[in-house]
Structure 1
């Protein structure tokens, strides 16, 4: 009878070990998928940040060009004595 109980315990331990191994494999696969998805998200976020910086740079260049045009117009108005001041 003791041998039967021992065999039963060993069989349960083998099943538990098998289940744990299967769960570990599934978890590792899931972690691998999550890491890939996180890497893609990080890459996408960097692209968004780069695009936003490019847009800000474009706005800054346009502002500088606008300021130069305003200065030129003011200078022309002064030379032609068209300004109010």
Structure 2
């Protein structure tokens, strides 16, 4: 094969390798960003669970107060 052709092929292969390395870095960044987003969502869901428990406790306390003050509708 002609030396110019070989050099041209090598040059293209190096460019392709460089492009693939850049894409690999971008994918790594996207994966890290996705993981961070999932961790934030897990935090939000955990906080929502805590709020649900607190609301349930407040509802129970309110019902107890209404019964003591005879404000609750008879069921």
TM more than 0.5:
yes
Instruction: Name stretches of at least 5 consecutive residues in structure 2 with no aligned partner.
Output: none
Gaps of 5+ in 1: 1-9
Q: Partner residue of 2:19? A: 30
* CA deviations over 1:8-31 (Å, ceiling 9, x no partner): xx6xx1111000110111111111
The match for 1:50 among 19, 29, 39 is 39
The two structures, once aligned, show a CA RMSD in angstroms of 1.1
Q: TM-score, normalization: structure 1?
A: 0.80
Runs of 4+ residues over 3 Å off in structure 1: none
**Which of residues 35, 51, 58 in structure 2 aligns to 1:62?**
51
TM-score (norm 2): 0.90
Structure with the bigger RCO (C-alpha within 8 Å, sep 6+) is: 2
